[in-house]
Structure formats: C-alpha cells, structure tokens
C-alpha cells in the first residue's frame, strides 16, 4: 500500500546562473511497512530526495512513486515532519492534531475521539489544551508526529526531526517513534546524519555519496525488534555502524580524488 520507489531520479538546480547537480540517477525502494533511513554527509541530497517523495520538488528526470502511484505533488497519502517545530503556535495541542482531519471534513466527534486516542498512546493527554510554546522541544516533535499520523497517511517522511534535541531527549523521542511505528506499521523514510540513530531505527539504511547525491549502498539492518538502548552496546550494532561509516568515508575520499 505504501511502498516508496525512487526510479532513476536526477535533480538539477539552477543557482547563480549555473546548474548544480544535487541528485544523480538515484534508484531505491523502501518496502511497504518498513522503516528506511537515508544517511550521508551534508550536501549529499538527502533532504532533496525526501522533498521529491513529498511532492514539494519535481525531479528533473526520473520519478518517485508511493504505493505504485507517481508523485505529482503533495498529497494526504504522505505525512511530513521537519526538523524545525512546525506546529501552529496559535492552536492548542488538540487543535493541532485535529487540524488535518478537520480540513478533510471528519466530523467533530470522530476527530475528538481520534485525537484523544493518539494523545493517550503517546503520553500527551494532560497537555491536550496546552499551546506549543508551553511544551519542551521533544514534546513539540511528538505532537508534530501525532499530527502527521492523525491524517492516516500511507507513509511518513521525516527530515532530521530529532536533530535539534539534546541526547537524552533524542533517545526518548527515538523510542517513542519506534513504538509508534510498531503499532501502526506505516512506511517511513527518515533522513538523518546520525549513524547510531539510523542503525537503531531502521530496517534498511540507504547510504548516499557526496554531491552529486548517488546511492552508494543499501544496508539491511538485521537486529531484532523491539529495540531498546542496550542494542547500541552489542557487537552486531557496532558492525553495522562501522560498515556505514566506512562507506561514507570511502565515498568522500573518492570524491576528493
């Protein structure tokens, strides 16, 4: 239902009257219901690739498909969560969560029941009537994820959503997200530069080369679910982290050469 397919996508920007090749012939698939992380150094096109999937930017060549349907623009089948806190500051938490369903014409009683359930699942019930400014950064991102889920998308697209959080809050947010994913099994494309985060979260890690962004390798993460922080200390985790870091470093060295 929600598989993500990137079919030979190239993206060229025109900057200062010259062409900049951001993505070069990228093809990858995140199977339906799987958690995929896209990693690479700054400028490798991670966020550009996510924006193409979201329909926020058209590819110069190639195509993105979700559930077998070509992406031609933003749509309700895709929920997006950004690094910055994108909640509406003038709306309370419950109103933020119900904003999308309200636009879609969902009856008020149904919206309220849905938001009550989601906020309870995520430990946010007592903050339903708070404004975003009254919440910590980690809680704001949890609300942003719940808001995206409330629209019942086939896939979630996440652009370094925990990048601005401190280490302890980030660890809690990662566990929150994996619990949410295990409950609902939406396909997730998650952009990060943090290798530990990628290995902890993902079923597959897609390693990108520096600009122009190309897919260097897909690494299948065969660690048992559910995962807790103790998995970070295992030899298997260290092996995956080493493999991905070596791929990134090798690619960077080849690019400089």
Mean of per-residue pLDDT scores for the chain:
88
What's the pLDDT score for residue 1?
66
Tell me the C-alpha distance between 75 and 18, whole Å: 31
Give residue-wise pLDDT tens across range 174-229. Answer: 888 888 888 888 899 999 989 999 999 999 999 998 878 899 999 999 999 888 88
Give residue-wise pLDDT tens across range 69-112. Answer: 999 999 888 988 887 767 899 999 999 999 888 888 888 888 88
What's the pLDDT score for residue 169?
79
The region, left, alpha or beta by phi > 0 then psi within -120 to 50, assigned to residue 93 is: alpha
CATH annotation of 4-77+154-256: 3.40.50.300
What's the pLDDT score for residue 215?
93
Max CA separation in the chain (angstroms): 62
Residue whose C-alpha is closest to residue 94's, from 128, 145, 132:
128
Domain boundaries, the chain: 4-77+154-256, 87-152
What's the pLDDT score for residue 123?
79
What's the pLDDT score for residue 254?
61
What's the pLDDT score for residue 162?
84
What's the pLDDT score for residue 253?
61
Bridge partners (DSSP) of residue 7 are: 63
Report the pLDDT averaged over residues 7-13: 93
Give residue-wise pLDDT tens across range 47-76. Answer: 999 999 999 999 999 999 999 999 999 988
What's the pLDDT score for residue 256?
56
């Amino acid at each position: 239902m929600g598989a993500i397919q990137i079919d030979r996508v190239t993206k060229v920007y025109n900057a200062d009257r010259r062409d900049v090749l951001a993505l070069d012939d990228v093809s990858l698939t995140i199977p339906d219901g799987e958690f995929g992380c896209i990693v690479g150094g700054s400028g490798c096109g991670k966020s550009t690739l996510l924006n193409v999937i979201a329909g926020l930017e058209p590819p110069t060549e190639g195509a993105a498909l979700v559930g077998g349907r070509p992406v031609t623009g933003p749509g309700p089948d895709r929920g997006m969560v950004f690094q910055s806190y994108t909640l509406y500051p003038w709306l309370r938490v419950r109103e933020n969560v119900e904003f999308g369903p309200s636009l879609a014409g969902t009856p008020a009683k149904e919206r309220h029941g849905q938001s009550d359930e989601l906020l309870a699942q995520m430990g946010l019930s007592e903050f339903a009537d708070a404004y975003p400014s009254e919440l910590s950064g980690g809680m704001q991102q949890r609300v942003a994820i719940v808001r995206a889920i409330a629209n019942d998308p086939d896939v979630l697209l996440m652009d370094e959503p925990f990048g601005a959080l401190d280490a302890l809050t980030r660890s809690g947010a990662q566990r929150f997200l994996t619990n949410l994913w295990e409950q609902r099994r939406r396909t997730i494309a998650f952009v990060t530069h943090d290798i530990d985060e990628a290995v902890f979260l993902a079923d597959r890690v897609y390693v990108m080369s520096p600009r122009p962004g190309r897919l260097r390798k897909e690494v299948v993460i065969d660690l048992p679910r559910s995962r807790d922080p103790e998995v970070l200390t295992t030899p298997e985790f260290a092996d995956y982290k080493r493999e991905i870091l070596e791929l990134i470093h090798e690619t960077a060295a080849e690019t400089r050469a």
